[in-house]
Structure 1
C-alpha cells in the first residue's frame, strides 16, 4: 500500500468558496494561475460561475505557491470542497505531484499511521456543528484569525447567522467572499439596526421621561405636548408686510413762510 505523503509537506487546502448567499456549488470557468505560480494576496486563483454570475476567486491570505490543482476547468464543485492546495515554499511544489484529494481532505488519515495505537485511552475530537471545519475549532477563533475585514463584517451579524456560513479560507478561516450579501459586506451600505432596537429606544425614552417627571417633587413644571405646524408664506406677502411696516416719507412741499 502506498504511504501518504501528507505528513511530509506543509500545505493549505483551497476550498470552493460560497460567492453568493444561495450558492451551493460552482463551476470552475478558468484557472488564472498554474501549478508552481506564486499567488500573492488579492491575486485571482480562478473565475467561478455561481448561480448568479461569473466571479473572481481571490487569495485573501498570505502569499504562497500553487502546489496542486485537483478540480479542472469546467468541473462543477460543491461549496467547501477542495479544489487545490498551496505551499509556502516553491521547492515543495514538486512534492505535491502525486497527491490526490484523499491526501488533502480533512479527516482522511492513512491506515498505516493509525495501525499502532500509542495508548488504550480513547480521545474524542469535537466536531463543529454542521460538519464545518473552522480554524482553532471554534467560531470565535476562526473569525479572529480571518483578519480585520472579516471581523468588521462578523461584528454586525448575530451568532446564528455566523454559524450558518461555511468558512472557505486557509485552514478553516473565513474570507470576505464568504459574506457576500450579508449586512456590512459593502462599506457604503450601513448594516440594518438589530430587530427591536427602535422599540427599545422608544421605551427607554419613555421610561427616562417618566423618571424625570416623577422625580420633580414639588415642582410646578408640567410636561405637555404641542402640535407642530408647517406654515407656508409667499415671498410677495412677506415683502408687502415689510413695506407696510416702513414709515411713509414726507412729501417735499413749499417752505413755510415767515
Structure 2
C-alpha cells in the first residue's frame, strides 16, 4: 500500500528573541489511506504548525513531505487544494458569508476545477445540492436560500464540513472543528463526521482537545509534545487508554 502521507525528518524552526526555536523536531511519520488519526497535544505542542506544514501554509526548515510517494515539500497551499481539504476551528472560515447555502455548496462542488468564466447553472444543480444538504443533521436542506451569515455556528460549521468533503479529498484535516460549538452541536457534528469518514473511507487527521472524543473516535492516536512525536498508538493500544492515561502523555 502506498502511504498517503510520509514525513521524513521534518523540522520547522523559527527565531524567538534571536534564539532558534524548534516548533517541529525531526518528525518521522507514515499515514496510510483510510486511517482516521487523532492528534493530541497541549498548547504550544506544535499541532497547528504540523497542520500548516501539511497543508502548505508553511514550508519546512528541513526534511521531506511525501504525498502518495510524490515529494510536495515545496508545493504551495494552492497547489495542494486538489489533494487536501481543511475545516478550521472558527465556523466563519471556509464559507462565503454573503452567499446562500446553495451557492456555497455549488462552489464546493466545483472545487479544484480549472478557473474560468461560466454560467452558475444554480437552478439546474439544485436537486443535487438539496440531496447533499439533506444528509446533514441540522435541516440545512430547508435553508438553501438563506445567507450563510445568518446561520448558527453549528449550522455553519456543519456546512463547512460538507463543503470540505463533497469532493472526497485524499486527505481531510480537521483543526479542532467542533471546539467552538455548544455541546449538542459539537456531538451532532462529531457523529456526522465519523459516519462520513467511515462511509467514504477518507484519510483524516483531526486535532482535538476533547479527551473523550480522542478516545471515542479514530483508529490511531498521535501525541505531540514540544514539537516531537512522543506517542503513536494503533487502534488496539488506543482502546486500552483512559482519560487519566491521556493526561499522563500531555503533562
TM-score (norm 1): 0.25
**Is the radius of gyration larger for structure 1 or structure 2?**
1
Greater RCO (Cα-Cα under 8 Å, separation 6 or more): 2
Choose between structure 1 and 2: higher strand proportion: 2
Choose between structure 1 and 2: higher helix proportion: 2
TM-score (norm 2): 0.25
